[in-house]
Amino acid sequence: MQRTFLLAKIHQCTLTAANLNYVGSISIDELLLASAGILPYEQVQVVNISNGERLITYAIAAPAGSGEIQLNGAAARLGMVGDRLIVMTYGQLSSAELSAFSPTVVLVDDQNRLLQVHRYTDLLEKASVINNVRA
């Protein structure tokens, strides 16, 4: 059986622009994408902390070090400059894959500058406890 797990997230980044006339997606500073392990054109879920909106789109790389987080196309209507966002990716993992897996969390400051990359290494321990309870 495979289950869906959080792979990575960029936590509480700040929306810097919204471009309704762009074809679509979310532009994210390339440094932040690389730090989170999110690939260009990978599906992402975007949660707007400021207004509660959620959307699924794909990430495109903005210039590294620019701090750019821009909603594009129709998604531009779901946020305003200055809104706080969480950008997440998910993946299907088997029980065997859990032993070598831990989600990545990228923390940024108000200008979307990288502060910290955190790995949740306790996922395997939690999964083991859950599996023991079910047994």
Q: Catalogue the active-site residues.
A: 25, 58
Which DSSP letter does residue 120 get? -
Specify the pairing of strand 104-108 against strand 84-94. Answer: unpaired
Q: Residue 129 half-sphere exposure, CB side, CA atoms within 13 Å?
A: 5
Residue 26's contacts (CB-CB under 8 Å, 6 or more residues apart) are: 44, 46, 57, 58, 59, 60, 69, 70, 71, 72, 75, 87
Cα–Cα distance, 98 to 81 (Å, whole number)? 37
